[in-house]
Structure 1
Amino acid sequence: MSAVLSAVENKLFSLPLPVRLILPDGQTLGVPGADVCLTIKDRATLASLAAGQVGVLGEDYVEGKFDVDGSMRDLMRLAAAILPGSPIDAARIGRLTELIRRLVSVWRHSIERDARQIQFHYDLSDDFYALWLDPRRVYSCAYFRSPDMSVAQAQEAKLDHICRKLRLSPGERFLDVGAGWGGLLLWAAEQYGVDATGITLSKNQHAYVNRLIQEKGLSGRVRMELLDYRKLDESQPYDKVASIGMFEHVGRALLESYFSKLRRLVRPGGLVLNHGITAGGVDNTELGAGMGEFIEKYIFPGGELTHISHVLERMTEGGLEDVDIENLRPHYARTLWAWSDALEARLPEARQILKGPEGERSLRAYRMYLAGCAMGFEHGWLGLHQVLAQPRTHGRHDELDLPSDLSYPWRRDYMYGHR
């Protein structure tokens, strides 16, 4: 027996649940009738299994080098158990590497490249996303106000949570940067009476939301544009601005200019809410053990992680003052598991939508991505922060009196009280 096979066999005895392996030659290892069975088709997969390179194993699964019989939740328990260490520590980089990554970050986030990268992910198939998202197709972290909430209820709670934080009022001009399938845009317009503008780089999302606007009779005060945030008109600043699940696509090197743009888009005293995935470690821009490379290759090309401390630095340099910070990490773990479970329950329908070999690769990638990200949030390797901010003030002394040009009060009662 080879050293790799011996290492794999030894590892099987230390796992948190029984596993069975079927090797390419038909030999079996592990426990008969185990909860999880892996049918290995390529012996190179065994080396990644022995080394705990779970991202590489994810690639092998997408490429059909092994099959899984068992639940994705159990599979992720195994993935966490075989890691050689923290994927945060494994992704730490030195100063020279950081400089190189900064230069690459600037290069990879041109307007043209960002459009291609967004369309790669979000234009996969509206029907596919509809299988496992809530009816509003809110593709970001939900907010579970109570343990018994469904993901659909928790998404509505999240939309309302954002609107409360922004203190939206009828007639205000509201901008949603990266508006997705329009969940927040339409909620803010219908529930809070704002004049709402959304932008996206996804052609599918743009067409879908404009159909909804017409169907709901909102064309007079709601609009969705196919536009890069860098091209937004600054001549008429908005009262309130939200950016939900978008800044992960901006690029770490461009965050200061991104926040500076948001500052110029909001009136003096207005509010900006930035909601997005953050790194669990201070120094890493992705997860180690091959997980970052998997996400880059199959799911979010161009995505970059940033620790909340760096986000706040760049936000300050961009001219915004943080006034409220909330970490929703546990909420995103639960959201992702809900999405993963929903997809697993509808795999035959997913295969009817994503047809052919390329469709099967995409489906396998999303199965790993949803469950793997749920695991990442559970373990604290990833965070999700909502940061409420306002343009920085200079020498004011009357903020507590809530003047007409300043929206943020010095307490949270308005945010958590019942409507």
Structure 2
Amino acid sequence: MNALFSQAERQLSSLPVPVQLILPDGTRLGAGDPKVGFTLKTLRSVSHLVRGRIGQLGEDYVEGRVDITGNMRDLMAAAAAILTESPVDNSQPGWLSELGRKATSVMRHTMDRDARQIQFHYDLSDDFYGLWQDPRRVYSCAYYRDSGMTLAQAQEAKLDHICRKLRLHEGERFLDIGAGWGGLLLWAAENYGVDATGITLSKNQHAHVNRLIEEKGLQNRVRMILLDYRQLEETRPFDKIASVGMFEHVGRAQLTGYFSKVRRLLRPGGLVMNHGITSGGTYNAQLGSGMGDFIEKYIFPGGELVHVSKVLETLSDGGLEAVDVENLRPHYARTLWAWSDGLEEKLDEAYRILPGEQGAKSIRAYRLYLAGCAMAFEQGWISLNQVLCQRQGVFDETQLDEPPGQAYPFRRDYIYR
């Protein structure tokens, strides 16, 4: 045991911020004037720290076995330095491991399980999410078109960035798969005049967006449906489709089928924007060092990440053609820090919204989740990619500006000008 404590002391001395441990018997290790403090109630937590198992250390905090003091930015600086190995795995799994992964993915993503998993996360509390999101409750990576933007401005810039990439026009039929609290759905309808359909598996989001549709008087051309994407009818294709922060819930074994379904929902020449989190490693489906297990248990059950190369492979297998890929990783790091800072500023109110011990566990989990993901995007352990795709149509190469039958022009400048 003394060897474990000595190892912990050596580890603390090498961290970029002063950290102090208070052991179960009251012994103090590390800095005398710490910026981050851990009060450990079990010796197992000391082992988690020494071994760099920050996911398990996070679980100890959520379950009340560890108390943490200090701000989230200092805590994450310490957490990144505590790691003993990279949480990103670039080694290709063997065929048996890959077969096991695929079987697990298939099992975890039935329609019933997906509905339960989505509701576990998104139906926690609208008021809780409203504490730290922007007023439109856009729960995905913002787009900081310039450095002085607020979170709300950057989220509106993201919504418009997607609409520009999709080249939305008045009267087009637009589908938003996983429409959240309706930010993109309503932005597209109000600013681009589209006929908009959104789907979600979250009962809270479904009710919230339908209230907004009624308040805005948009019932004649905007609708929000409680529906699994697999149940969408294919009788009348959409002109444009967006999927923002949704395909992470699909499961890697289902991705080709998912993109194939999207292709069948899209008219020939139509565009689809797939905006989602991707893994930093080529083969890992979640972060290592226990972080992926932490997110699976407390935040996103059933979530699976793939590398952007796998996204391109599976969408191609599904019959779509990638025409533009943009990495927004730094934007998501800044977005997550904005969310984290917003939650930290309103912790007292969060505890009123989510009362009791279960509420306290959720708040502790989200404190680590938001700040931890900000750190992970900063470090490049995970990423965010917007992939613009089209369902191919026939075109005449002499028409350089507006190819007949195609929604995507020959040049990119329409996105950015």
Counterpart position of 1:78 = 78
Cα distance, 1:380 vs structure 2: 0.3
Contact 1:275-1:387 within 8 A present in 2 as well: yes
Change (3 A) 1:93 1:83: farther
Counterpart position of 1:177 = 177
Contact 2:8-2:50 within 8 A present in 1 as well: yes
Cα distance, 1:90 vs structure 2: 8.2
Which stretch of structure 1 is more off in the superposition, 69-78 or 87-96? 87-96
Counterpart position of 1:225 = 225
Amino acid at match of 1:34: P
Amino acid at match of 1:219: Q
Contact 2:394-2:404 within 8 A present in 1 as well: no
Alpha-carbon distance between aligned partners in 2 of 1:30 and 1:396, rounded to the nearest angstrom: 70
Change (3 A) 1:171 1:395: closer
Which stretch of structure 1 is more off in the superposition, 395-404 or 10-19? 395-404
Contact 2:299-2:365 within 8 A present in 1 as well: yes
Alpha-carbon distance between aligned partners in 1 of 2:353 and 2:184, rounded to the nearest angstrom: 27
TM-score by length of 1: 0.97
1:269 counterpart = 2:269: yes
Counterpart position of 1:352 = 352
Counterpart position of 1:66 = 66
Change (3 A) 1:92 1:80: farther
Residues 26-61 of structure 1, C-alpha deviations (whole Å, 9 max, x = no match): 111111221111111111100000000011111111
- The alignment partner of 2:304 has SS state of coil
Change (3 A) 1:68 1:155: same
Alpha-carbon distance between aligned partners in 1 of 2:93 and 2:63, rounded to the nearest angstrom: 29
Cα distance, 1:214 vs structure 2: 0.2
Contact 1:329-1:385 within 8 A present in 2 as well: yes
Alpha-carbon distance between aligned partners in 1 of 2:198 and 2:12, rounded to the nearest angstrom: 50
- The alignment partner of 1:88 has SS state of coil
Alpha-carbon distance between aligned partners in 2 of 1:401 and 1:156, rounded to the nearest angstrom: 28
Residues 352-393 of structure 1, C-alpha deviations (whole Å, 9 max, x = no match): 011101001100100010011001000000010000000134
Amino acid at match of 1:48: H
Contact 2:90-2:283 within 8 A present in 1 as well: no
Amino acid at match of 1:373: C
Residues 305-356 of structure 1, C-alpha deviations (whole Å, 9 max, x = no match): 1000011000000000000000000000000000000000000000001110
1:167 counterpart = 2:184: no
Counterpart position of 1:309 = 309
What percent identity do the matched residue pairs reach?
67
Alpha-carbon distance between aligned partners in 2 of 1:90 and 1:142, rounded to the nearest angstrom: 28
Counterpart position of 2:127 = 127
Contact 2:396-2:403 within 8 A present in 1 as well: no
Counterpart position of 1:22 = 22
Contact 1:177-1:229 within 8 A present in 2 as well: yes
1:203 counterpart = 2:171: no
Which stretch of structure 1 is more off in the superposition, 208-217 or 403-412? 403-412
Amino acid at match of 1:50: V
Contact 1:399-1:406 within 8 A present in 2 as well: no
Amino acid at match of 1:281: G
| Residues 297-376 of structure 1 mapped to structure 2, 5 A cutoff | 297-376=297-376
Amino acid at match of 1:248: E
Counterpart position of 1:4 = 4
Contact 2:19-2:34 within 8 A present in 1 as well: yes
Counterpart position of 2:194 = 194
| Residues 46-125 of structure 1 mapped to structure 2, 5 A cutoff | 46-89=46-89, 93-125=93-125
Amino acid at match of 1:95: W
Alpha-carbon distance between aligned partners in 2 of 1:90 and 1:10, rounded to the nearest angstrom: 29
Number of residue pairs aligned between Structure 1 and Structure 2: 417
Alpha-carbon distance between aligned partners in 2 of 1:239 and 1:389, rounded to the nearest angstrom: 12
Counterpart position of 1:31 = 31
Alpha-carbon distance between aligned partners in 1 of 2:345 and 2:237, rounded to the nearest angstrom: 45
Alpha-carbon distance between aligned partners in 2 of 1:211 and 1:91, rounded to the nearest angstrom: 48
- The alignment partner of 1:175 has SS state of strand
Which stretch of structure 1 is more off in the superposition, 207-216 or 27-36? 27-36
Contact 1:131-1:346 within 8 A present in 2 as well: yes
Alpha-carbon distance between aligned partners in 1 of 2:219 and 2:47, rounded to the nearest angstrom: 57
* Contiguous gaps of at least 5 residues in structure 1: none
Cα distance, 1:171 vs structure 2: 0.6
- The alignment partner of 1:392 has SS state of coil
Alpha-carbon distance between aligned partners in 1 of 2:52 and 2:95, rounded to the nearest angstrom: 27
Residues 79-109 of structure 1, C-alpha deviations (whole Å, 9 max, x = no match): 1001012100388643321210101101110
Cα distance, 1:398 vs structure 2: 5.5
Cα distance, 1:396 vs structure 2: 6.2
Alpha-carbon distance between aligned partners in 1 of 2:98 and 2:5, rounded to the nearest angstrom: 37
- The alignment partner of 1:400 has SS state of coil
Counterpart position of 2:152 = 152
Amino acid at match of 1:218: L
Contact 2:396-2:404 within 8 A present in 1 as well: no
Cα distance, 1:75 vs structure 2: 0.5
Alpha-carbon distance between aligned partners in 2 of 1:376 and 1:55, rounded to the nearest angstrom: 13
- The alignment partner of 1:16 has SS state of coil
- The alignment partner of 2:289 has SS state of coil
Counterpart position of 2:252 = 252
* Contiguous gaps of at least 5 residues in structure 2: none
Aligned CA RMSD, in angstroms, stands at: 1.3
Amino acid at match of 2:241: V
Contact 1:340-1:370 within 8 A present in 2 as well: yes
Change (3 A) 1:98 1:266: same
Alpha-carbon distance between aligned partners in 1 of 2:179 and 2:399, rounded to the nearest angstrom: 31
Cα distance, 1:2 vs structure 2: 2.0
Residues 58-80 of structure 1, C-alpha deviations (whole Å, 9 max, x = no match): 11111011111100111000110
